[in-house]
Structure 1
Amino acid sequence: MGALAVALTAAAAVAIPAAPAEAASGKVVYLTFDDGPSPTYTPRILGILSRYGVRATFFEIGENVAAHPAITAQVARQGHSVQNHSWSHPDLRRLSGSAVSSQIAGTDRVIRAQTGRTPTCLRPPYGAVNSTVRSRAAALGKQVVLWSVDPTDWSRPGTAAIQSRVLNNVRPGSVILLHDGGGDRSQTAAALPTILSTLKARGYTFATLCG
């Protein structure tokens, strides 16, 4: 993600939509993964999620889906939600309206080809949104979804730091931001079992976003 993401984190933390209805009735959290699919880390993370019986939401980059289509198909086949994270991970605010639409629509096409479903949500790279991004997303049937818990795992702060940043900040209805692509995600994969087992021990359940 980089420095831009650091600058946007505070804004993104308050920009998520209202928590889905399930959160109101219990301790539900929403685990999300950005920047995949990765041939190295996505299968590893899928294996961990399967072991703990947890479903998550994967916001995937179109060019990565095109390069590794079978992994996107596997994500969907295992019951996870596959959603749109743009085609090439630009700051969408810096693009023309037509270019924003192209980034979204192209990613829709390759995800639909592997999952049989068109994404209903967009997570703009870096959490960067403006009126153009929102209007173009809406015109393509997308809700903009950001996050409320960001352990900045992309910066590789260490497995223990990722674990503590999630576990110290999660609340019922939290949308947790993690990454399965875009670089070395070994720390994220290593942190995941403790995050899942601890949250389950605290009485949390997990749900997917965006259908």
Structure 2
Amino acid sequence: MHGRGQDRLGHSALKPDAYRLQPLTGDAPQRALPLPTTVRHAPILRFSGRGNTMLLTFDDGPNPEYTPRILDTLAKYDIRATFMVCGEMADWNRDLLARMADEGHVVGNHTWTHPLLTRLTRRKIRDELESTSDLIEKTYGERPLWFRAPYGAWNRNVFQLNAEMGMEPLAWTVDSLDWTTPGTGAIVRRVERGAAPGVVVLSHDAGGDRTQTVGALRRYLPRLLDEGYRFTVPRRNYT
């Protein structure tokens, strides 16, 4: 693991901005890897399950300003969510990964530098995924079982490498479009209108000002709970 002065390649290790990040290189952990999964040809978009159960997912973090506020809101209502983390962001905010583990949230792999994977070689895709999985295991305590491609861009290499690393490709059903900063009310309306059994909601806890995301979560979460919705994390036995 590189320090914060210079990385293993001798580059200056500056604190990352959104996606201007450097991939991690280093020795793989000695723990057993997850068993390979079946190669899919499309990502998982929703889940089946009993009752009005939904999944909340947050991409691109963790961020030291917005992620704790999201975690606080989830804790207030005793809700578990899924965080698709970028390796470099996680490297700078390992305490937040540890908190996610302590509070029962699922952490997934969202690559190291948030690149468009369909433009990368198979080797570079593998480096993006392995580097992030290694860091998650060292900090969160387990290798990730779920992966989300940046920008929702998938191809054969991505699906094959996901399977080889024991990860399932998870996309989304409802896009909150919070990354466009449309206003807190607009985010709330998109999530509430899209609410249905088995849907996967996409939001972001980093990559920009996520004040609206935080505010929207605080508004729609208690409303949906009052309407009888429940929130969970992905499990392979009900995909």
SS at match of 2:194: coil
Which of 143, 155, 160 is the aligned partner of 1:118?
Answer: 143
Q: How many residues align?
A: 196
Matches for 1:55-134 after TM superposition, within 5 Å:
55-134=80-159
Q: Are 1:120 and 1:210, in contact at CA under 8 Å, matched by a contact in 2?
A: no
Structure 2 spans left out of the alignment, 5+ residues:
1-17, 19-41
Which of 179, 182, 192 is the aligned partner of 2:204?
Answer: 179
RMSD between aligned residues: 1.4
CA distance in 1, matches of 2:74, 2:234: 16
Matches for 1:1-211 after TM superposition, within 5 Å:
16-17=43-44, 19-21=46-48, 23=49, 25-210=50-235
1:42 CA displacement: 0.4
CA distance in 2, matches of 1:26, 1:42: 28
Amino acid at match of 1:187: Q
- Give percent identity, aligned residues only: 41
TM-score by length of 2: 0.79
Q: Are 1:30 and 1:56, in contact at CA under 8 Å, matched by a contact in 2?
A: yes
Amino acid at match of 2:75: S
Q: Are 1:16 and 1:148, in contact at CA under 8 Å, matched by a contact in 2?
A: no
1:20 CA displacement: 3.7
Per-residue CA deviation, residues 59-95 of structure 1 (Å, 9 max, x unaligned), is 0000111111111111111110011000000011110
Amino acid at match of 1:122: F
Note closer, same or farther for the CA distance 1:17–1:99 as it changes in structure 2 (3 Å cut). same
CA distance in 2, matches of 1:136, 1:68: 26
SS at match of 2:151: helix
Q: Are 2:91 and 2:135, in contact at CA under 8 Å, matched by a contact in 1?
A: yes
CA distance in 2, matches of 1:173, 1:199: 14
Per-residue CA deviation, residues 116-161 of structure 1 (Å, 9 max, x unaligned), is 1000111000110011111111111111100000021011000000
Amino acid at match of 1:137: N
1:18 CA displacement: 6.3
Name the larger-Rg structure: 2
Note closer, same or farther for the CA distance 1:19–1:155 as it changes in structure 2 (3 Å cut). closer
Q: Are 1:41 and 1:180, in contact at CA under 8 Å, matched by a contact in 2?
A: yes
Larger helix fraction of residues: 1
CA distance in 2, matches of 1:85, 1:18: 16
Counterpart of 1:9 in structure 2 is: none
TM-score by length of 1: 0.89
Amino acid at match of 2:55: Y
